[in-house]
Amino acid sequence: MIRVLHVIDHLDLGGAQTALLDMLRHRDRSAFDVEVAVMHGRGPFADALEELGIKVHSLARAKWPPVYVTEFVRLLRATDFQVVHFHLQGANWIAKPLAALAGQRVLIAHEHSSGDLRFRGLGSLVPDASTHLFSSRIIAVSKGVRDFLTRWEAIPPDRIELVPNAVDEEIFRPCTEEKRQAARSQLSIPMDTFVAGGIGRLAREKHFILLPELAARHPDIYFIVAGSGPEHARIEGRASELGVDARVRLLGTILDRACFYNAIDAFVLPSIYEGLPMAVLEAMSSGVPVLSSRLEGISAVLMEEKEGLLARPGDIEDFSKQLRRLKESPELRRQLTTAARAKTLDQFSASVTAGKIENIYRRELAMANTTKTDKSSVS
């Protein structure tokens, strides 16, 4: 049995957390014993992981004081983990060097973020590149992220493995009209109106501030946004300023994400920066037509006009035009969702992705054991 520890900054709503949950739901339980360490807090994903029988270690109540440093070292000393897998910046910048110093030999870094320097910032390059020196293998979720790592952080291509995010196609699947009505009832959404929705962290890079602007241009469409974050008050305030607050609802964190997709007629993601967002894959798998910003990570998985519609990032007129097309053409929606669902089944299955990552573990362990044997022979 191979013991694996996943380390992540937090377990609140987010794409990396969703990807981790889906991957661990499909883990090979006969070969891998998995635990998760969250650097601070717990968050809703902690409960979801524990429901899968996975032990969750919360290393600190909050970011400050940083007691997660000593608690993480104590955890490594107490348990013989053969693989440690890091998600998000805090885990990669802080926990990964500590794991290397503690003698852990197989350290996997998972790059979930956008491959756009404007989003990452110049200040991230030095800590990213320097701590990646400790990585046995780096997993990139998109070609854009992989290219960023080789170009800006000078990481050799042969140390990077391209493994796209994936979705649990059994949980996220097209729903019946009965389930659609039940989902709308559960979320208190009008039954007989066209509903456009977005889900994700309410942060500037997601640019959900665009939705009140769309609502002002489309009085026949109801908008919902699921998620939490620093932009909540700004989005709410803009909806009030435009007089559309009755048709733009911020739902907060939604744990039943399948219910969210069942309740909407169109999924809208107006992000300015993205890697490979889990929400796009979930919507595609759920049979919901996607309207998203035309960004590299998204364009790599969603063919424009075939599996979804794309608009220029931040361009309210372009988004408005494309949303009107979705609203007015049930046939267009049917064509897009049929192709999108087929693509997720073929290329973005969570069970396939879990297997790919577990094969990376096996290869890295074999290489580490070979190196250890060679050193022993020399000595």
Q: Is 368 helix (H, G, I), strand (E, B) or coil?
A: helix
Q: For 254-263, what is the mean pLDDT?
A: 95
More confident residue, 371 or 281: 281
Q: For 176-197, what is the mean pLDDT?
A: 96
Q: Looking at residue 14, what is its pLDDT?
A: 84
Q: Looking at residue 276, what is its pLDDT?
A: 81
More confident residue, 28 or 118: 28
* Distance separating alpha carbons of residues 311 and 293, to the nearest angstrom: 5
Q: Which strands form 2-8's sheet, in the order they lie side by side? A: 55-58, 32-38, 2-8, 83-87, 107-111, 137-140, 160-162
Asked whether the beta carbons of 337 and 262 are under 8 A apart, the reply is no
**126-130, 160-164, 177-181, 298-302: least confident range:** 298-302
Interhelix angle 15-25/44-51, rounded to 10 degrees, is: 10
The pairing of beta strand 248-252 with beta strand 221-226: parallel
- CA quadruple 144, 353, 29, 360: dihedral sign: negative
Looking at the chain, list the stretches that DSSP marks H as alpha helix, in order from N- to C-terminal side.
Answer: 15-25, 44-51, 68-78, 89-90, 96-101, 117-120, 125-131, 143-152, 177-186, 210-217, 232-241, 257-263, 278-285, 296-299, 316-328, 330-347, 350-378
* Distance separating alpha carbons of residues 277 and 166, to the nearest angstrom: 10
Closest CA to 159 of 81, 107, 211: 107
Beta bridge partners of 348: none
Angle at 112 between CA 5 and CA 187, to 5 degrees: 95
Closest CA to 250 of 225, 270, 215: 225
Asked whether the beta carbons of 82 and 107 are under 8 A apart, the reply is no
Q: Looking at residue 118, what is its pLDDT?
A: 75
The tokens describing 70, both together, are 């000593």
Angle at 323 between CA 18 and CA 242, to 5 degrees: 90
Interhelix angle 316-328/210-217, rounded to 10 degrees, is: 60
Confidence class for position 375, pLDDT limits 50, 70, 90 = low
Question: Is 376's pLDDT higher than 60?
Answer: no
Complete domains list, the chain, with CATH: 2-166+349-378 (3.40.50.2000), 177-347 (3.40.50.2000)
* Distance separating alpha carbons of residues 222 and 189, to the nearest angstrom: 9
Question: Is 67's pLDDT higher than 80?
Answer: yes
121: left (phi over 0), alpha (psi -120 to 50) or beta: left
How many CA atoms does the CB half-sphere of 176 hold within 13 Å?
3
Interhelix angle 210-217/232-241, rounded to 10 degrees, is: 20
- What letters, b where the CB count within 10 A reaches 16 and e where it falls short, cover 29-54? eeebbbbbbbbbbbbebbebbeeeeb
Question: Is 254's pLDDT higher than 80?
Answer: yes
Q: Is 221 helix (H, G, I), strand (E, B) or coil?
A: strand
Q: Looking at residue 300, what is its pLDDT?
A: 85
| Mean per-residue pLDDT of the chain | 94
The tokens describing 376, both together, are 């022993």
Q: For 187-200, what is the mean pLDDT?
A: 96
Looking at 190-329, list the stretches that DSSP marks H as alpha helix, in order from N- to C-terminal side.
Answer: 210-217, 232-241, 257-263, 278-285, 296-299, 316-328
pLDDT one-digit tens code per residue, 83-118: 999 999 999 999 999 999 999 999 999 999 877 787
